[in-house]
Amino acid sequence: MANIKDIAKMANVSVTTVSRVLNNHPYVSQEKRNAVLQAIEKSNYQKNYNAVHLSTGKTFLIGVVLPYSNHPYFGLLVEGIANEALTLNYNIVLIQTNYDKNRELEALDMLKHKQIDALIICSRICDWDTLKHYSSYGSITLCEDTRGRNLSSTFIDHYESFFTALEFLASKGHSKIGYCIGRTSGTNSTQRESAYRDFLQKYNHPYEVHYIFNNCLFLEDGEQVIKEIKKMTDPPTAILVTSDQVAAGMVTCCHKENISIPNKLALIGFDNQPIAKLMAITTMEIPLVQMGRNLVIQATNSKDTTYDQFKSRLIERETV
């Protein structure tokens, strides 16, 4: 492919003149301009966009860090991110970490090396000091409560959301309540754990460690939880399930095993995924698509640090 020097040679002008024509600079005679345009036409010259980026310093790429590319929670979030990015003329670079710290660091290095304009971290494992260090190189936006940390974020008050769901179960007469969670570390999980402990204390219920099910992310994990509950001599009567996907797995398994929902086991899902509507699962709706859109708006407005809290909402269906 011809480069700028080839074009200059073909048009019999200087490299500077070619550059001026490419950048619509006014001080070029019409004659020379035409010669350059003809040479470009002839040679099929393509403006090297990386060169353009060097001068503007912008890539119009936003990095999106997420642990799994194929999970419905992140699916809805990425749907919002992708749509808003499209609107603002950005493309997104998907960086799947599987919660491997080195991969998250590679993503942060992309920001440092100006390969992306901004980074959205949907779920994090690096510590705050690391993020603070990298935020000097470019905009980092998170999907968890970052108030007091000087990093922008879009988040749900997971403490309040969990407490609301627990109070709803209490109002229906439940006292033996457990929960399923994707991972026990991370800001969101810590907030949920606090809400759970405060709820137990308020009602004077004991903390039963086997009522808490970790690593629950996919449909199949719901099946596993039901199997564990079936083995218990004093099982929970209700479960908060932090993923509708897992809740759907539990409903399907209960149906197979003739465990009546909600009589024998009540369930509250989270997110309000399409499957929750279809299977009539009571759920705490989280507006993930809108949150994804907001993350992009924050990521591209890197001047101000903003903390945008979104509301979750209980949707009553048939599993409580």
Burial class (CB in 10 A: 0-12, 13-18, 19+), 308: middle
Of the listed pieces 200-208, 219-227, 233-241, 307-315, which binds a second copy according to CB under 8 A? 219-227
- Distance between CA atoms of residues 175 and 203, nearest Å: 8
Q: Does 69 bind a second copy (CB under 8 A)?
A: yes
Residue nearer to a second copy on the CB measure, 108 or 169? 108
- Distance between CA atoms of residues 148 and 131, nearest Å: 14
- Peptide bond before residue 72 is cis, with ω within 30 degrees of 0: no
Among 30, 70, 171, 233, binds a second copy (CB under 8 A): 70
- The binding track of 143-162 with respect to a second copy, each residue x by CB under 8 A or -, is --------------------
Q: Does 6 bind a second copy (CB under 8 A)?
A: no
Phi, psi at residue 290, to the nearest 5°? Answer: -65, -40
Name residues contacting a second copy, limited to 251-310 (CB under 8 A). 252-253, 274-275, 277-279
Of the listed pieces 66-74, 183-191, 208-216, 260-268, which binds a second copy according to CB under 8 A? 66-74
Helices (H), 63-100: 72-87
Among 54, 101, 215, 311, binds a second copy (CB under 8 A): 54
Burial class (CB in 10 A: 0-12, 13-18, 19+), 108: buried
Of the listed pieces 34-42, 44-52, 161-169, 185-193, which binds a second copy according to CB under 8 A? 44-52
Q: Does 137 bind a second copy (CB under 8 A)?
A: yes
Residue nearer to a second copy on the CB measure, 37 or 219? 219
Give strand pairing partners of 91.
61
Look up residue 159 and give its amino acid: Y
Q: Which residues bind a second copy (CB under 8 A)?
A: 46-51, 53-54, 59, 61, 68-70, 72, 75-76, 78-79, 82-83, 86, 91-96, 103, 110, 112-115, 137, 218-220, 223, 248-249, 252-253, 274-275, 277-279
